[in-house]
Amino acid sequence: MLAALASGDEEAAAEAALRDHGPAVLRYLRSLLRDPDDADDAFSLFAEQVWKRIGTFRGQGGFEVWLFRIAFREALRFHDSGWKRKRRPLPTTEASRIAAEVRQTASISRDRRLEALERLRSSLSLEDQHLLVLRVDHGLSFKDIAATLGEGEGLEEVTVRKRFERAKARLARLAKDEGLLS
């Protein structure tokens, strides 16, 4: 991906980015939005943004951080927008075609405990879910998560760490109340 970008082949770079990192971003969006159709739609929006903006990647914070920042913004935009209620199909482009391919090949297994945890996690704010998904499910550092939450420098790492600890404590209380933890 970086080699294609360095040579100026933005289409090849975008395709490589979506194929290599798309499954992880799709899992992230499914965890965050919890509705497979909503996640698929948000993933298509994400893919379009990656396709359009791949040439703007400058290496700050790393490529994965850049992708999750785009995915989070698209999840917020999708979550807050009214167009999803209309279910108007988006025009098909190369990015949408690749996004559809990635969705078809990504397999997600669920069990009852995971579904219960997902239901509890869904009761948290979208920002709390963002912190938990990126830290727990994707293993991002607090520094990288901070970079996904703001432009340029983002938030301070210590602030993100504190927010994460509070979100984790809220989730633990909910899990204990549901009998998932003793």
What are the two backbone dihedrals, phi and then psi, of residue 165, each rounded to the nearest 5 degrees? -60, -40
For the cut 90, the answer to whether the pLDDT of residue 166 exceeds it is yes
Q: Which has more confidence, 68 or 85? A: 68
Residue 113 amino acid letter: R
Report pTM.
0.65
Residue 14 Cα distances to 46, 88, 114, 162, angstroms: 11, 25, 32, 34
Residue 82 amino acid letter: G
The confidence score (pLDDT) of residue 104 equals 62
- The mean per-residue pLDDT over the stretch 126-140 comes to 90
In this predicted model, what pLDDT tens digit does every residue of 135-164 receive, in sequence order? 988 889 998 898 888 766 667 889 999 999
For the cut 90, the answer to whether the pLDDT of residue 48 exceeds it is yes
Burial class (CB in 10 A: 0-12, 13-18, 19+), 54: buried
Instruction: Please state which of the ranges 12-21, 53-62, 100-109, 130-139 shows the lowest mean pLDDT.
Output: 100-109
Cα separation, 56 vs 178, whole angstroms:
45
Q: Which residues contact 118 (CB under 8 A, 6 or more apart)?
A: 31, 34, 110
Where do the structural domains in the chain lie, given as residue ranges?
1-108, 111-182
Number of DSSP helices (H) and strands (E) in the chain, helices first = 10, 0
Per residue in 96-128, is it b (16+ CB within 10 Å) or e — as a string? bebbeebbeeeeeeeeeeeeebeebbeebeeeb
Q: What whole-number percentage of the chain has pLDDT above 90? A: 34
Q: Are 70 and 46 in contact (CB under 8 A)?
A: yes
CATH topology of domain 111-182: Arc Repressor Mutant, subunit A (1.10.10)
The confidence score (pLDDT) of residue 110 equals 40
The confidence score (pLDDT) of residue 57 equals 87
- The mean per-residue pLDDT over the stretch 123-127 comes to 90
Q: Which has more confidence, 106 or 109? A: 106
Residue 85 Cα distances to 41, 89, 125, 181, angstroms: 12, 11, 21, 36
The confidence score (pLDDT) of residue 108 equals 40
